[in-house]
Amino acid sequence: MPELPEVETTVRGLAPVLEGQAIARVTLRRADLRRPMPHDLGQRLTGATVTALGRRAKYGLIDTDRGDTLIFHLGMSGRWRVDPAEILPHDHLVLETRAGRRLALNDPRRFGSLDLVPTAELAEWPAFKALGPEPLGPDFTGAYLATVLDGRSASIKTLLLDQRLVAGLGNIYVCEALYEARIAPTRPGGKIGRAALDRLVVAVREVLEAAIAAGGSTLRDYARPDGELGYFSKQFQVYGREGQPCACGGIVARRVDGGRSTFWCPACQK
Ligand code: ZN
């Protein structure tokens, strides 16, 4: 499933193809993904020029000079294909630029979404309204965490996955960040001291930035025809490594709560 780094990498991969470019043709090949797409999406995008690309949580943002933002979510299996040689059955949206580039949004399981929202109203858009700060932004700090976690008895892992506290963190990177900060995922959020919270903020940024850098380094391969944006191989310290040794000499453990796996090292995460 694409997490924040994959979405960020996708946005960075789309930018050179779309930024400053006019959209010559829009082909919608079905009416819905997880939910219906705007019926006038093609009409509003055709002829528009893309002014900027961005990301909020796990949503990619494509701004146009008509004051609209195309918001895409990759769901479980979504990916953009750059200059595909042929259009495939699960390419649901195809954008062609006046410069002759072609982008296809491919999503076999259709858990993704496409919305077109006035850029000026983005902050009030329902999925964005209650979101916490971006983990890579200036508002996500140890002081912020100390304030919002105060008195909270839920586990730090559960709290970091709460999009109202911090936006866009998913299971994989929360496991990795808690490992990097050497904090046990089961610890109550309100019981973690300020020094550990400062460490956690640094760890969250580091694991996300390392994943984005890893994705960025493979983008060269993805930029050729038939390339796909959105996925890359990753190397994790604890995620998916149950039973394997930790650098401290401990063994990586796994537990499942509500169908979601937690990986951690009980020897060095306290
Ligand atoms: Zn360890």
Residue 183: give its domain's CATH number.
Answer: 1.10.8.50
Long-range contacts of 31-34 (CB under 8 A, 24+ apart): 32/110, 33/75, 33/92, 33/107, 33/110, 33/111, 33/112, 33/113, 33/114, 34/73, 34/75, 34/110, 34/111, 34/112, 34/113
**Same domain, residue pair 30 and 54:** yes
Ligand 1 midpoint to CA 187 (Å): 16
Active-site residue, from 30, 35, 164, 260: 260
Ligand 1 midpoint to CA 239 (Å): 13
**Same domain, residue pair 158 and 116:** no
**Same domain, residue pair 123 and 209:** no
pLDDT at 228: 52
135 assigned to some structural domain:
no
Rounded Cα–Cα distance for residues 50 and 155 (Å) = 42
Ligand 1 midpoint to CA 218 (Å): 30
**Same domain, residue pair 149 and 118:** no
Ligand 1 midpoint to CA 269 (Å): 7
pLDDT at 246: 96
Ligand 1 midpoint to CA 152 (Å): 26
Ligand 1 midpoint to CA 185 (Å): 13
**Same domain, residue pair 98 and 188:** no
Q: List the CATH number of the domain containing 82.
A: 3.20.190.10
**Same domain, residue pair 104 and 199:** no
Which residue did the predictor score with more confidence, 190 or 234? 190
Active site residue 270: no
CB neighbour burial string for 117-131, b if at least 16 within 10 angstroms, e if fewer: beeeebeebebbeeb
**Same domain, residue pair 161 and 214:** yes
- Of 61-70, 109-118, 213-222, the least confident: 213-222
* pLDDT, tens digit (0-9, with 9 covering 90-100), for 207-241: 999 888 877 554 444 443 345 554 445 678 999 89
Provide the strand spans (E) within 195-265.
227-229, 253-257, 260-264
Provide the strand spans (E) within 122-204.
none
pLDDT at 98: 98
Active-site residue, from 55, 58, 157, 241: 58
Dmax (CA) for the chain in angstroms is: 60
Measured in whole angstroms, the distance separating CA 250 from the mean position of its chain's CA atoms is 31
pLDDT at 199: 98
**Same domain, residue pair 146 and 260:** yes
Ligand 1 midpoint to CA 14 (Å): 38
Active site residue 58: yes
**Same domain, residue pair 161 and 46:** no
Contact predicate 113/72, CB 8 Å: yes
Ligand 1 midpoint to CA 266 (Å): 7
Rounded Cα–Cα distance for residues 266 and 147 (Å) = 27
Which of 100, 129, 158 is where one domain is finished? Answer: 129
Contact predicate 264/182, CB 8 Å: no
250 assigned to some structural domain:
yes
The residue-averaged pLDDT of 82-100 equals 94
Give the number of other CB atoms < 10 A from CB of residue 270.
9
Contact predicate 38/93, CB 8 Å: no
The residue-averaged pLDDT of 173-198 equals 97
pTM to 2 decimal places: 0.89
61 assigned to some structural domain:
yes
Closest CA to 95 of 62, 55, 60: 62
Q: What is the mean pLDDT of the chain?
A: 91
**Same domain, residue pair 35 and 91:** yes
pLDDT over 80 at 44, yes or no:
yes
240 assigned to some structural domain:
yes
Which of 67, 99, 129 is where one domain is finished? Answer: 129
Which of 129, 159, 192 is where one domain is finished? Answer: 129
**Same domain, residue pair 158 and 194:** yes
**Same domain, residue pair 120 and 237:** no
Active-site residue, from 2, 5, 84, 185: 2
Structural domains of the chain, count: 2
Rounded Cα–Cα distance for residues 238 and 13 (Å) = 28
Give the environment of ion ligand 1: residues with CB less than 5 A: 246, 248, 250, 265, 267-268
44 assigned to some structural domain:
yes
Active site residue 3: yes
47 assigned to some structural domain:
yes
The residue-averaged pLDDT of 174-200 equals 97
Q: Which two three-digit tokens encode residue 191?
A: 């019981």
137 assigned to some structural domain:
no
Ligand 1 midpoint to CA 155 (Å): 19
Residue 115: which domain range? 4-129
Rounded Cα–Cα distance for residues 136 and 151 (Å) = 25
255 assigned to some structural domain:
yes
Active-site residue, from 3, 6, 8, 134: 3
